[in-house]
Amino acid sequence: MDNLRRQRTFIWQDPLVSVRDSHNLSGLEHLKKIMEGELPASPILSLMNGRLVEVSMGRVVLEAEPAEYHYNPVGSVHGGFAATLLDSAMASAVYSQLPVGVGSTTLEIKINYTRPLTATTGPIHCEGTVIHVGTTIATAEGRITDHNGKLYAHGTTTCLLLRR
């Protein structure tokens, strides 16, 4: 079985640097600094072959590429890959609208899978957009598509807003 063995090296930057600097920035400012490489990205994005490619008020786009090491036992990418990307994009879209001193955490997430992702799918885009931001909770929606616009998954989230 050793000839079937594969290996991957995972490298990331200290995420607490970004967390520490976030306390003096709005969500949008913080996300832009991450996208521009001025602050470290979340290690989970590196693990997922993902990166932040677009940020604006109420909208975030992540790009990722499914790989063999994301597979489940039935030969397609594990659903947690799409769920993690959607959670990241939707929560970041909410965060992009938050002022200095306010963060958020996911309270609830709903994912609909429309077709399987595989290592041959190629790069995918995960777009998160805000539906509503209140004083205590916010909601957002997200979609995962390929470069042709084919839908692979979509979801919604509810986030709790946290005053620091």
Taken in order of first residue, the domains within the chain and their CATH numbers are 14-163 (3.10.129.10)
Q: What pLDDT does 21 receive?
A: 83
* Residue 140 token pair: 């957002």
Q: From first to last of its 164 residues, what are the pLDDT tens digits of the chain?
A: 567 888 888 888 999 988 888 889 999 999 999 999 999 999 999 899 899 999 999 999 999 999 999 999 999 999 999 999 999 999 999 999 999 999 999 999 999 999 999 999 999 999 999 999 999 999 999 999 999 999 999 999 999 999 98
**Alpha-carbon span 116 to 97, nearest angstrom:** 32
pLDDT digits (tens, 9 = 90+) for 86-134: 999 999 999 999 999 999 999 999 999 999 999 999 999 999 999 999 9
Is pTM, for the whole model, over 0.85? yes
